[in-house]
Structure 1
Amino acid sequence: KISYVFFVATMFYRSTDFKTVAVTTAMAAAHVLVLVLSRDLGNGLIFFLTYLFMLFVATSRAVYLGAGLGAGAAASVLAWQLFPHVQRRVEAWLDPWSDVADTGYQIAQSLFAVGTGGWMGMGLDQGLPEKIPVVEKDFMISAISEELGGLFAICLILICLGCFLQFMMIAVRMQAMFYKLIAFGLGCEYIIQVLLTVGGAVKFIPLTGMTLPLVSYGGSSIAGTFILFSVIQGLYILKRNEEEEDEEEWSESKGK
């Protein structure tokens, strides 16, 4: 994910003419197609939306954003018609109770866990998160809601939103387009992953199999998130040093 953002930022930093946009779009579409074919729908959606928003920031052309959203909607319908695993996930999302023993089991148990915990939760280690398949990766927010309560889960989501807002503030402050695109792209990847995880657990969107950053189990997910935060922190330090140098130059010129 991180190298993908660097690739897109590099392409748009060099040029934003139509030829460059077309080539970059084709390569990004190839990444998304490979992920969809390998049944990694979550990362495919993250790559697609991140590229679309980075394209809009780089070009400031709403027509690209509109065309991308339209193409994405058409591709989603096509994927639903062509791929059985996409159909199963959509069917489980629309009506998990029709096949609660099979395709709808995960989402049904997730909803049971959220409802059982209520606002205050059942207490730490008092729930039954093991009833949800792959709870340690895809449904950590459901387990947290069951044991620690909906209020705690909301606070956790607000922390994630706060991190995203900090990423966007850093992106806005960056003057160089390359650094701006990197900060914006990484921030988009982070918040989209959070929304996909939480939305899938509460049946707001179909399940995508995404982990909750720094919460769900998984070494590669945690390592990738740490690298993402490190890059953002590096951009913040870079900008702060530039501002300090500008202040020193201004003070010296004023003293003369």
Structure 2
Amino acid sequence: MSVLIVIPARYASTRYPGKPLVALKGAGGASRNLIERSWLAAGEVRGVDRVVVATDDDRIKDAAEGFGAEVVMTSSDCVNGTERCAEAHTALGGGYDIVVNLQGDAPLTPHWFVEDLVKGLQSNPQAEIATPVLRCDGAALNSLLADRKADRVGGTTAVFAANHQALYFSKEVVPFTSEVYGDDAPTPVFHHVGVYAYRPDALAAYPSWKAGPLEQLEGLEQLRFMENGRSVLCVEVEAKGRAFWELNNPEDVPKIEAMMAQMGLE
């Protein structure tokens, strides 16, 4: 099956304007912007036929082409990454069996997260969309709770059924637990990893649907699929000792840089 990775990136982020061009220092002190680090992460994924950056901003286009990425210009009317991926797939002439949305704010995404995601969609023909979930340890859960306590929108959590079909995604920490966990202890909370794999038909239909009340309240694009009765598969992935966090707020920059230093990522 042919696989396309699209890295959607926009400059005019409400929470963090210019985020794709924010510089992140690696373990050796080398500074690369966020979109380049996301592109490098995409390049490590095996079994992929093509990787493109999709944007509506010339500053991001110039930066991406400067480090060798293929860029697809998309409309400024795209309200989220899924709409941008749908437009990019169409602009490229379609024809891919699976389209992966590797959002440009997750440079620490390990290649096996995406590989396991694609395998999960391939092995579940009834699923139209798949997304990874990572069980939080106590340290990750405490980071999520600290963001909410400080009134920051941090990571997203997911709850799903026994068959791994998604039940809900939220920027609140769900499910609720009052238990205190040690840093390395497993918890019942799953961090939603902001990567998606779509079948082309579901992706093409997405922009034609209006954003529902849940999507508007949470600001989570994947809820539009669920509000339109589409099945979203949660694929549980393993960290394998690798730290993971997404860049949602300026406060996340030093946290991600520290994680890169710890892992020896240049």
- Shorter-chain TM-score: what band? under 0.3
Structure 2 length as normaliser, TM-score?
0.27
Q: Which has the higher contact order (CA 8 A, sep 6+)?
A: 2
Structure number having the greater helix percentage: 1
Report which of the two structures shows the higher radius of gyration computed on alpha carbons. Answer: 1
Structure number having the greater strand percentage: 2
